Chains A and B, each alone.
Chain A
Amino acid sequence: AQKVTQAQTEISVVEKEDVTLDCVYETRDTTYYLFWYKQPPSGELVFLIRRNSFDEQNEISGRYSWNFQKSTSSFNFTITASQVVDSAVYFCALTNYGGATNKLIFGTGTLLAVQP
């Protein structure tokens, strides 16, 4: 069965600190895709990144970076020099490959609170 675990329920940091959100996944598929979404206090779900299982290169986008490690089934998300606007719930998600099943399996989310 597929599963996504975000063990950190809540994280609180002070502005300008770096913070890493953990994501561990389980799947039997050899080809799969991983995603991160952000849900700010306003409630919408904002797509951040997609990564396929064959690409283990780390990705950086501004203050955001993602570390994908197949050996540990992890896809962690780091925010450098956090800002108050980063305060949100962050979800890691997984899809499987093949057929008509294209659902996203979400983790339970990590609430990040960035204090000024």
Chain B
Amino acid sequence: DTAVSQTPKYLVTQMGNDKSIKCEQNLGHDTMYWYKQDSKKFLKIMFSYNNKELIINETVPNRFSPKSPDKAHLNLHINSLELGDSAVYFCASSQGLDFPKETQYFGPGTRLLVL
């Protein structure tokens, strides 16, 4: 019954590795997002996809590549991980019909620790 799910919940890895985080929503929404929450709890958008099409890319390093195989999934692949990538990554979704007023529903977050 989970509306927005993410896997894994925790990810511990070495610098330089490549890793992926998966996100799935069962709300029937057309728009999905990735946000990053840093160690000070600051939340900032990274990407947004609408109907599998990228609509927001917030000057994120190109080591981060989102991929949307279908409307219900938005995965985040990170190449050559750096210490500064350690954060909590949240996936979210919204209906995708009337953007400004839509409520975004968030997944449980993926806690990434780069050693």
Specify the chain B residue showing the minimal Cβ separation from A51: B101
Interfacial residues of chain A within 62-116, with CB under 8 A of chain B in the complex: 89, 91, 95-98, 100-104, 106, 108-109, 111
Specify the chain B residue showing the minimal Cβ separation from A95: B100
B50 touches A89 (CB 8 A): no
B45 touches A103 (CB 8 A): yes
A97: which B residues are within 8 A, CB to CB? 100
Interfacial residues of chain B within 54-94, with CB under 8 A of chain A in the complex: 55-56, 58, 88, 90, 92, 94
A43 touches B43 (CB 8 A): no
Known: A103-B56, A106-B42, A109-B41. A47 touches B103 (CB 8 A): yes
B106: which A residues are within 8 A, CB to CB? 37, 44-47
A106 touches B101 (CB 8 A): no
Residues of A within 8 A of B (CB): 31-33, 35, 37, 39, 43-47, 50, 52, 89, 91, 95-98, 100-104, 106, 108-109, 111
Give me the 4 closest cross-chain CB pairs, A-B, nearest first: A102-B99, A45-B106, A103-B45, A106-B43
17 A-B interface contacts by CB (under 8 A): A37-B106, A43-B109, A43-B111, A44-B108, A47-B104, A47-B105, A50-B103, A95-B101, A96-B100, A98-B100, A102-B48, A102-B94, A102-B102, A108-B40, A108-B42, A109-B42, A109-B43
